[in-house]
Amino acid sequence: MSSAYPYTGKLAVLYQDHGDLPALQQLAEQLHVPLRLSTQPDFDQHEAFFLCWRDGCLKLLDKELLKKGGMAVDIEPRQGEQRSWPAPKDGALAKALGRKTQTVIDATTGWGQDSLHIFRMGYALRCIERSPIMAVLLADGFRRLAQADWMQRLQLQPPSLLVGNAIELLASLPEPPDCIYLDPMFPPKRKKSALAKKPMMVLRDLLGDDEDKDHLFAAAMQATGKRVVVKCPDYAESLGNKANEVFYGKLLRYDVFLKN
């Protein structure tokens, strides 16, 4: 994020009569956004998004979600994924990452769902995210992950998280990873969707499309040791010229670009 106060007018931290008020005050200061109290009569009249503490998680809400649950980084395996660790390296994502790959950087971590899938398959993973809001939600998710029984039993550490623009951070890596994974935000096919609110839709409303994805792709090709994998919607044009390999998932594609 280049601007010093990118979320002014868009997001507030919300205190709802429970939780750690000083910690929320600190969070509001860190993000340079107001702290609102739900006891104030007009607390929801200023910003469109809120960060608040609910059910032991840091959650992101828009106005529609204020009365419902809110969205947190989900640390549970996705549907169809095995619960063992390391989970089998099968499926389109593992095929795209490559059979010999050991180290992966997810340069567009977002809600961390792909990252956590990659982590659970046993790859050595580092994460990058430039949105300070997503970064605090991810830090909370990784904190919960560190406390999970299976993580403690196996003495595993959650992935490390670098906060900043991957275009710059990838240029100063101490060592190139085997694979850099990219899942930037592409423009939607249709403007409106009848689907229920999904975390990715809220993320798009909050952050918008990633207009600099071509630069990110170029930076990733420069920084990777062996390959770059780009996840994109099935209707989207490829980021690079021509992918060396393509793997298909449900309504999506993984384009694989090998480094010469």
Least Å distance, CB 91 to ligand SAM, is: 14
Q: How far is the CB of 200 from ligand SAM (least distance, A)?
A: 6
Contact indicator for 130, 163 with CB cutoff of 8 Å: yes
Residue nearest ligand SAM, Cβ-based: 110
Name the residues that contact ligand SAM, by CB under 6 A.
Answer: 107-108, 110-114, 128-131, 134, 165-167, 183-185, 203, 207, 210, 216
User: For ligand SAM, which is the closer residue by CB, 23 or 69?
Assistant: 69
Minimum separation from the CB atom of position 166 to ligand SAM (A): 3
Q: By C-beta, is 35 or 200 nearer to ligand SAM?
A: 200
In the complex, the smallest distance separating the C-beta of residue 33 from ligand SAM, rounded to whole angstroms, is 17
CB of residue 252 vs ligand SAM: minimum separation in angstroms?
Answer: 11
Q: Which CB, 43 or 182, lies closer to ligand SAM?
A: 182
Q: Pick the closer one to ligand SAM by CB: 101 or 131.
A: 131
Least CB distance to ligand SAM at residue 184 (A): 5
SS (H, E, C) the chain: CCCCCCCCCCEEEEECCCCCHHHHHHHHHHHCCCEEECCCCCCCCCCCEEEEEECCEEEEEEHHHCCCCCECCCCCCCCCCCCCCCCCCCCHHHHHHCCCCCEEEECCCCCCHHHHHHHHCCCEEEEEECCHHHHHHHHHHHHHHHHCHHHHHCCCCCCEEEECCHHHHHHHCCCCCCEEEECCCCCCCCCCCCCCCCHHHHHHHHHCCCCCHHHHHHHHHHHCCCEEEEEEECCCCCCCCCCCEEEEECCEEEEEEECC
> Among residues 29 and 209, whose Cβ is nearest to ligand SAM?
209
Q: How far apart are CA 18 and CA 75, in angstroms?
A: 23
* Cβ distance to ligand SAM smaller for residue 15 or 70: 70
